[in-house]
């Protein structure tokens, strides 16, 4: 039998991306507001929900991509993303978008990139004199911490949580966990069980229960599943304070100035005048009213109450 050639995955080792940052949390927990604030800090290159960064861990978890190839692709994606950003490519100028570059970059800086940064060598030289931090915002990635840290050993994660009653009420209003919401082309990947859909981050047992719940209870189950994975994997991987910063939506909106100080300490980055201006836009919102988890089956309800306590929220 003829021997097949071996596929290699050469990597540049260029050092374009050092100590990248992932902002994550259960969706509707404040990841977007947090990302907007971090994007205003000095030295940040911010990217909102890049599909490839989310899907590589998902495909790897499903066995669709071999581990070595998945890790290489994730690192290569980060490198190419930084490269294109510093060369001024693919900048979003659409007014009103969170990711629009005028929210974070002055027009003069964009022009400097277009004029002076033309090659990878130009990018390397620029990073030596003006270091930049790649920050990616992508929700619901808690189940993939192990793969993410194995692929990006110097990764730092900022995790934000929010009261599950607010999370479930918000997803219910948006219809994201309804059958029609999960059927939209722009929706998240889904699991198909008996012609019904469930979010990709649930395991098969959770997905079977998910399809029997109403939309509010689906939101509670999603919060329970993701928070459980977050806490379990943080303990398993022994993630320390230099690797993970945990915040809450209630802290962010109640004391945005204090949250900015915590971010400066964790990221070793400084605020900018845009940061101070953005703080004024962060408004405190009423806390969750009492919620009932009685419609969850006992196993889900017990886990939900345990995680409520672990997350610092009182039950009821």
**How far, in Å, CA of 104 to CA of 100, rounded?**
8
Q: For 52-100, how does the pLDDT look when each residue is reduced to its tens digit (9 = 90+)?
A: 999 999 999 999 999 999 999 999 999 999 999 999 888 888 888 888 8
* Closest by CA position to 200, among listed 216, 217, 233, 176: 176
| Predicted model pTM | 0.93
Between strands 196-199 and 133-137, the pairing is unpaired
The tokens of 139 are what? 């929700």
Average pLDDT over residues 32-57: 95
Q: For 18-27, how does the pLDDT look when each residue is reduced to its tens digit (9 = 90+)?
A: 899 999 999 9
The tokens of 56 are what? 């590589």
Q: For 116-141, how does the pLDDT look when each residue is reduced to its tens digit (9 = 90+)?
A: 898 888 888 888 888 999 999 999 99
**How far, in Å, CA of 287 to CA of 284, rounded?**
9
The pLDDT, as a whole number, for residue 97 is: 85
**How far, in Å, CA of 17 to CA of 191, rounded?**
33
Place of tokens 């070793």: 268
Q: By CB neighbour count within 10 A (0-12 exposed, 13-18 middle, 19+ buried), where does 251 fall?
A: middle
The pLDDT, as a whole number, for residue 14 is: 62
Average pLDDT over residues 37-54: 95
Q: For 227-240, how does the pLDDT look when each residue is reduced to its tens digit (9 = 90+)?
A: 999 999 999 999 99
Residues in the chain: 316
User: At 51, which helix (H) or strand (E)?
Assistant: helix 51-61
Q: In sequence order, what are the beta bridge partners of 45?
A: 134
Q: Is the dihedral of CA 249, 273, 123, 48 positive or negative?
A: positive
The tokens of 244 are what? 């993970």
Q: Is 199 helix (H, G, I), strand (E, B) or coil?
A: strand
pLDDT for 290 beyond 70: no
pLDDT for 12 beyond 80: no
Q: Which domains does the chain have, with CATH numbers?
A: 21-174+241-310 (3.40.50)
The tokens of 250 are what? 């209630």
């Amino acid at each position: 039998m003829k021997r097949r050639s071996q596929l290699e995955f050469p990597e540049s080792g260029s050092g374009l991306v050092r100590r990248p940052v992932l902002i994550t949390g259960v969706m509707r927990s404040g990841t977007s507001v947090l990302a907007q604030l971090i994007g205003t800090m000095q030295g940040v290159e911010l990217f909102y929900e890049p599909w490839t960064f989310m899907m590589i861990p998902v495909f790897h978890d499903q066995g669709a991509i071999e581990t070595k190839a998945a890790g290489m692709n994730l690192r290569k994606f980060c490198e190419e993303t930084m490269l294109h950003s510093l060369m001024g490519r693919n900048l979003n100028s659409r007014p009103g978008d969170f990711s629009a570059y005028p929210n974070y970059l002055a027009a003069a800086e964009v022009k400097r990139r277009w004029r002076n940064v033309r090659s990878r060598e130009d990018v390397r030289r620029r990073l030596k004199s003006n270091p930049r931090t790649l920050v990616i915002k992508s929700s619901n990635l808690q189940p993939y911490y192990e793969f993410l840290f194995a692929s990006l050993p110097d990764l730092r994660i900022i995790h934000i949580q929010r009261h599950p009653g607010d999370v479930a009420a918000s997803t219910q209003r948006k219809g994201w966990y309804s059958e029609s919401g999960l059927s939209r082309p722009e929706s998240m990947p889904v699991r198909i069980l008996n012609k019904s859909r469930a979010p990709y981050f649930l395991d098969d047992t959770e997905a079977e229960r998910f399809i029997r719940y109403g939309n509010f209870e689906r939101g509670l189950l999603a919060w329970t599943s993701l928070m459980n994975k977050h806490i379990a994997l943080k303990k398993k991987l022994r993630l320390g304070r230099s690797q993970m910063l945990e915040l809450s939506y209630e802290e962010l909106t109640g004391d945005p100035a204090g949250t900015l100080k915590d971010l400066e300490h964790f990221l070793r980055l400084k605020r900018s005048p845009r940061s101070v201006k953005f703080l004024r836009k962060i408004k405190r919102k009423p806390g969750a009213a009492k919620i009932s988890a009685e419609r969850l089956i006992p196993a889900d309800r017990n886990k939900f109450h345990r995680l409520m306590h672990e997350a610092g929220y009182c039950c009821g």
